[in-house]
Amino acid sequence: MKFDLTQILIVLIGILGTLSGIFISEYFRRKNREALFSDIFFKKRLSIYEELFKKLNIIRSQASKIMEGEDLSKKERHQIWSKVVLPFAEFLDNNDLYINEKIQDHAIVSIVGVEEIADFQPKEKEQRILQFQKDISKAIEMIREDSGLKRLDKFFEKINKPNLNSDWIKYIEKLKKDE
């Protein structure tokens, strides 16, 4: 039995077509799984970042009471603040899979030692309070950046082109530029 070159080419093209179909189908199947997984992961991560955002704002208000808490003893401030820091650290540890490591590090370092600020002299105390506020604001900014919310805001601004302007907004923007 003799095979002619045309028959061999037809068989080879059929085999190559089948193999390429298998590879292409596998490629798209994996891409689809990645998209499905990333959607689930993104939603979970966003909800955890939302919770982290809320916790940081609560901590900011609790810290104000501790930093100004001259009527509390050093031991009382430490006990009160430990009840804030330890659950927060536990939250970060429990959500380690979803929260960016740099954000975790920054957030926890920002709140450690807040209970000691009340012991400083007024000028130093004021500087440390301002630094704490900046650190918390920076953590919130990092959350917005890593979660994609900052990019979404810019996207919506391009689409909507809102005219959000006031004397207060101008003043705040000037302060941000001066930093």
Residue ranges covered by each domain of the chain: 52-178
pLDDT tens string, the chain, 179 residues long: the values are: 566 777 777 777 888 888 888 888 877 777 776 666 677 888 899 999 999 999 999 999 999 889 887 788 889 999 999 999 999 999 999 999 999 999 999 999 999 999 999 999 999 999 999 999 999 999 999 999 998 888 877 777 777 777 778 888 888 888 888 87
Lookup result for tokens 């596998």: 26
Reported for 57-60, long-range contacts at CB under 8 A and 24+ positions apart, including other chains, are: 57/140, 59/84, 59/88, 59/111, 59/136, 60/133, 60/136
The predicted structure's pLDDT at residue 134: 95
